[in-house]
Amino acid sequence: MKYRIEKDTMGKVKVPINKYWGAQTERSRNNFKIGSSASMPIEIIYGFAYLKKAAAHSNCDLGVLSSEKRDLISQVCEEILEGKLDNQFPLVIWQTGSGTQSNMNVNEVIANRAQELAGKIIGEGEKIVQPNDDVNKSQSSNDTFPTGMHIACYKMIIDTTIPGIEKLRDTLQAKSVEFKDVVKIGRTHLMDATPLTIGQEFSGYVSQLNHGLKALKNTLHHLAELALGGTAVGTGLNAPKGYDVLVAKKIAEFTGLPFITAENKFEALASHDAIVESHGALKQLAVSLNKIANDIRMMASGPRSGIGELIIPANEPGSSIMPGKVNPTQSEALTMVCAQVMGNDVTITVGGTQGHYELNVFKPVMAANFLQSARLIGDACASFNENCAIGIQPNYSRITELVNNSLMLVTALNTKIGYYKAAEIANTAHKNGTTLKEEAVRLGYVTPEEYDAWVKPENMIGFLK
């Protein structure tokens, strides 16, 4: 492999000649060989591209950067956002906690690619666009990384998480209406309880997702606040007056999202409560989704020796040894995603505590875990919706069998003969292996006609639809 020589404040470094990055990127690449598949998420790089473009335009508007340099920086940022330079960002999550080396990776790539676009040879002569003085003008890694992080996380929630959840929510809502008259046995403590409808049961799932979506959306205003303009410690040193408001306005324009400058830059650099808050909402959704997926797979268990109340799509063979076996694979995938998100929340919580004086130094791992959670929830909901929820159907014969066989139908007699006599009927029927009706009549507490009139599952589903 051929190399060229790049320089930074610590001296010369050899860099592969076919790469646009420079000395600081190469040093980080060699100093942090941690994790074979722990690359900085590309969404963070795209967040940087938005902010570097916005910074160039703002600096030009404020008279501290030439229009020639602005245009070159902008052109490279567009190439990054188009995915043309994805292989130029090799650094891992496990680096400096401020993300300085990833900031410089972006600065160096933009500067060297700009050199090429200007018709010059990389590594020969003075750079037309300097990585620190031009691409990083009016910035510090301390305010660019949290800005790129917020852009990436906000976009992921809007583009992937919310659409995936809403698809599943809407399907479950349709199923709730479709199955509103399908009476089944309820269960509490995993034991038989009084009846309800599948529609009522599914309406609970819809409500969970609606509350989770509301909680998530309510955190977005905090996530929309950007640190850019705070520079090193939040004072805005070396940034022109008005830059923070203008650059946030430019980012909002370029992304089409409602970003604003953070009201307090000291908070924006030293703490990442917005990330902790928004991921808390993702954790809440993971808890809800775990319950929904588990309920559905347990109600579909069997098909002959389990509960078997629901029929779910048979998407693939379930066993390499048992012919004809089909498993609830979408539920399993979704609950594994939920476990991962809950684990990520622990990492983000710990990361949120690492704001020492004027800087939080767990930025990369917080961003990476957040993005993984947001994408996983969105993708898993879309997958579960398409490959399971849409195809769910009641197993009517099994539902009727289980309802009619339940001892908890005796609850309907409470107001007629009292709790203790009703309990005696249930306990005796269970002991003797007989039906509720047989024991109720034999014990002399009701007549056959009274039993038939009072114990009707369809009349036991209450008035809460």
In contact, 200 and 191? CB cutoff 8 Å: no
Same domain, 284 and 362: yes
Task: Give pLDDT, residue 36.
Answer: 79
Residue 465 lies in a domain: no
Establish whether 98 is an annotated binding residue.
Answer: yes
Return d(Cα 78, Cα 100) in angstroms, integer.
Answer: 22
Closest listed residue to residue 406, CA positions, set 198, 201, 195, 199 = 195
Q: Domain with 82 in it: what CATH number?
A: 1.10.275.10
Q: Quick one: tokens of 82?
A: 């188009």
Task: Give pLDDT, residue 37.
Answer: 82
- How many structural domains is the chain composed of? 3
The total of other beta-carbon atoms located within 10 Å of residue 432's CB is: 11
Question: Is 189 marked active-site?
Answer: yes
Contacts of 82 (CB under 8 A, 6+ apart): none
Q: Which of 319, 356, 406, 430 is catalytic?
A: 319
Ranges of the chain with pLDDT below 50:
none
Establish whether 325 is an annotated binding residue.
Answer: yes
Same domain, 184 and 72: no
Q: Domain with 184 in it: what CATH number?
A: 1.20.200.10
Establish whether 142 is an annotated binding residue.
Answer: yes
Residue 445 lies in a domain: yes
Q: Domain with 428 in it: what CATH number?
A: 1.10.40.30
Same domain, 101 and 116: yes
Return d(Cα 246, Cα 308) in angstroms, integer.
Answer: 60
pTM score of the predicted model: 0.96
Return d(Cα 176, Cα 182) in angstroms, integer.
Answer: 10
The total of other beta-carbon atoms located within 10 Å of residue 103's CB is: 26
DSSP output for 118-136 = TTPPTTSS--SS-IIIIIT
Domain encompassing residue 422: 407-459
Same domain, 350 and 423: no
Same domain, 219 and 363: yes
Q: Quick one: tokens of 53?
A: 């473009």
Same domain, 233 and 100: no
In contact, 113 and 121? CB cutoff 8 Å: no
Residue 182 lies in a domain: yes
Establish whether 138 is an annotated binding residue.
Answer: no
Return d(Cα 287, Cα 340) in angstroms, integer.
Answer: 11
Return d(Cα 160, Cα 375) in angstroms, integer.
Answer: 6
Question: Is 279 marked active-site?
Answer: no
Q: Which residue has the tokens 């979506």?
A: 213
Q: Is 179 exposed, middle or buried (0-12, 13-18, 19+ CB in 10 A)?
A: buried
Residue 117 lies in a domain: yes
Q: Coil, strand, or helix at residue 4? A: strand
Same domain, 176 and 32: no
Same domain, 118 and 159: no
Q: Coil, strand, or helix at residue 239? A: coil
Torsion angle, CA of 376/386/288/153, rounded to 10 degrees? 30
End-to-end CA distance of the chain: 70
Establish whether 329 is an annotated binding residue.
Answer: no
Task: Give pLDDT, residue 464.
Answer: 66
Establish whether 199 is an annotated binding residue.
Answer: no
Establish whether 140 is an annotated binding residue.
Answer: yes
Q: For the range 258-263, what are the long-range contacts, defined as Cβ-Cβ under 8 Å and sequence gap of 24 or more?
A: 258/224, 259/150, 259/151, 259/154, 259/224, 259/225, 259/226, 260/224, 260/225, 260/226, 261/225, 261/226, 261/228, 261/229, 262/225, 262/226, 262/227, 262/230, 263/225
Same domain, 376 and 455: no
Return d(Cα 223, Cα 227) in angstroms, integer.
Answer: 10
Helices (H) and strands (E) in the chain, counts: 17, 10
Same domain, 179 and 307: yes
In contact, 225 and 268? CB cutoff 8 Å: yes
Count the residues in the chain. Answer: 465
Establish whether 326 is an annotated binding residue.
Answer: yes
Q: Which of 36, 189, 305, 397 is catalytic?
A: 189
Of 97, 118, 137, the domain-final residue? 137
Of 355, 372, 397, the domain-final residue? 397
In contact, 228 and 261? CB cutoff 8 Å: yes
Establish whether 112 is an annotated binding residue.
Answer: no
Of 347, 367, 397, the domain-final residue? 397
Q: Quick one: tokens of 64?
A: 């501290």
